[in-house]
A and B are shown apart, each in its own frame.
Chain A
Amino acid sequence: MSETLAVGRAVPDAPAAALTPSLDGRRKLQLALGGSWLLDGILQFQPSMFTKAFPAMLAGTAAGNPAFVASPIHWSATLITHHLVVLNAIFATIQVALGLGIAWRPTVRLALAASVLWSLAVWFLGEGLGGVLAGPASLTDGAPGAVILYALLAVLLWPADREPDRRPARFIAARAAGEKTALALWTVLWASMAFFALQPGYRTASGFSDEIRDMAAGQPGWLAWPVSHLASLLAGPGLLAASLLAAAFTVTAFSIWLPARAARPVIVLALVLAAFLWLAQGLGGVFTGGSTDPSSGPLLILLALAYWPAAQARPEAVPGAEGA
């Protein structure tokens, strides 16, 4: 452990920084993903999650979904209502454990695999498949589902190299999944968001604006102000804003296939779009006391960083980095 090393008798004068194990880019992103899980777990321990508002929120995601989605959601919401404290404590503990499991190198694979399963379960039972089948999937609610991004990141940051003996991967996300698969996943994600931006609800003068304005409710003043102003800005030209947003998502989705030099501006655009969405989402409502996660904005940022073209995405082997 790095902290212990600097005070050991054998190396009393070594600078602390020199004794800290180095982290490669993928490990840093894994730790950021783990930190997100830990934050989610702590948010899940909030007092409001131990009230019936939590299962009511889950039941609300069934609205508009087909029966094969809605029925299990109602069943799970009812079950949680009957065993609220125990089940919510278990849910929160699982998320804390996922975060700590990703942090601890010996369990990183287990935790990432478990996080994929957990994400899929929550995406189905807790988010109603992100509203994808419900009709009006909402970008401000994190469509196609914030939690599915956890699963996607876990797959892309899996601690293995698909082609370890060949040239280094062009970006971190390609190391485990392979370049074409990673690029295809990126395209599907951002193209789906372009599709959601053109839903009928957004093709009105104030559709997008009204959704954003709702996100300002319950927020502290310093955050409610920019969110409200963003909503006001988009109040008139709603259709134009939705079209521009859809165009930006589409460019982001497909320009990623361009060579590395051209792809960098695309990643920057993705970062800007993610930041814009996060603001429109009211930073996920973390300041309202009733949020289970910070929504899709930070995860999209994390995802974009995993696609940043790097000259050397696969570093020299670092002792202790095995498995991570």
Chain B
Amino acid sequence: MSGPGWLTGLLTAVMLTVAAYNATRLAAAPRWGRAAELDADGTHVVMGVVMAGMLTPALSFAPRPLWLTVFAAGGAWFGWQFLRTRSGQAAGRWRCPHPLPHLIECAAMVFMLALPATATAPAGMGTALTGAAAGFSPLTLLLAVFMIGYVMWLGNNLSAPAVATATGTTVIARTGFLAPRCAACCKIAMGVTMGYMLIMLL
């Protein structure tokens, strides 16, 4: 990744922190009997590690095809969940009720990983893409704008009171969920970082 080394280093540290935090959630939520989005948290563990590897290539430890397969599978899962929620089925205690953003996140990861390695290599990131990669710049911008919109939506909901629901009993619901604000902050950090990585590809 181009740009100042301190910036990519900082973002790498943030991504690793997000991955570690979400790994902790995966372990803690079932043990403590608290509700959580295990599918989204699991995805963010992998995503944080892979994004850290993309930002700082020295941390990359597995071949791209492996990660491509993982995120394609993740995208398929969230796509299926999206169809389920669209048909009115409940998400359940352990699944994410808003799968669309995670579907797009997985798609963005597949997109970035599928680009020619030179495009996302340290020297290539941030410089104008050429050839086939440049043809995808509208898609890159669309994905980046989606991530920014997702971040804004998360930020807006971060402080929304728990009473604005159909049931009026969501204060209880909030106590049942494992650290909702921390989870949202992790998503915001991941969204901003992914937006940055996509913009660097323009």
Task: Spell out A's residues near B (CB within 8 Å).
Answer: 1-16, 18-23, 27, 31-32, 34-35, 38-39, 42-43, 45-48, 50, 85, 89, 96, 99-100, 102-106, 218, 220-222, 286-289, 318-320
Contact = CB atoms under 8 A, between A and B. Distances in A.
A307 B106 CA distance: 37
Nearest to A288: B128
Contact of A89 (B4, B181, B188): B4
11 contacts: A7-B93, A8-B172, A14-B90, A18-B165, A22-B164, A32-B152, A103-B152, A220-B129, A287-B137, A318-B164, A320-B163
Contact of B151 (A18, A38, A46): A38
B106 to A, nearest CB: 17
Contacts of B165: 5, 11, 14, 18-19
Given A4-B173, A103-B158, 18 more contacts: A2-B98, A3-B184, A5-B162, A7-B35, A7-B92, A8-B174, A10-B169, A19-B165, A35-B145, A35-B148, A42-B192, A45-B196, A47-B3, A47-B127, A218-B128, A222-B137, A287-B141, A288-B128
B157 to A, nearest CB: 5
Interface string B100-144: 000000000000000000000000001111000011011001001
A221 B134 contact: yes
B192 A5 contact: no
Contacts of B177: 4-5, 7-8
Nearest to B166: A18
Contacts of A10: 167, 169-170, 172-173, 176
Interface residues of B, number: 67
Contact of A8 (B2, B85, B173, B195): B173
Contacts of B174: 1, 4-5, 8
A220 B201 CA distance: 12
Contact of A13 (B90, B160, B164, B188): B90
B180 A287 contact: no
A99 B169 contact: no
A11 B93 contact: no
Nearest to B193: A42
Nearest to B95: A7
A103 B153 CA distance: 7
Contacts of A2: 98, 157, 160
Given A47-B126, A220-B134, A287-B141, A8 B159 contact: no
Given A2-B160, A289-B128, A11 B167 contact: yes
B42 interface: no
Interface of B: 2-4, 7, 35-37, 85, 88, 90-98, 126-129, 134-135, 137-138, 141, 144-145, 148-149, 151-167, 169-170, 172-177, 180-181, 183-184, 188, 192, 195-196, 199-200, 202
Contacts of B192: 38, 42, 96
A4 B199 CA distance: 29
Contacts, number: 205
Contacts of B161: 21, 319-320
A4 B3 contact: no
A42 B198 CA distance: 10
Given A1-B158, A7-B37, A20-B157, A100 B188 contact: yes
B148 A39 contact: yes
Given A3-B37, A8-B177, A42 B199 contact: yes
Contacts of A85: 4
B195 to A, nearest CB: 6
Given A1-B184, A16-B97, A89 B7 contact: yes
A49 to B, nearest CB: 9
Residue with the highest number of chain A CB atoms closer than 10 Å, among B7, B134, B173: B173
A99 B200 CA distance: 19
A6 B84 CA distance: 14
B166 A9 contact: no
Contacts of A48: 126
Contacts of B151: 35, 38, 99-100, 103
B126 A46 contact: yes
A318 B163 CA distance: 10
B152 A14 contact: no
A202 to B, nearest CB: 29
Residue with the highest number of chain A CB atoms closer than 10 Å, among B97, B135, B184: B97
Nearest to A17: B85
Contacts of A27: 156
A34 B153 CA distance: 10
Given A45-B196, A319-B164, A35 B85 contact: no
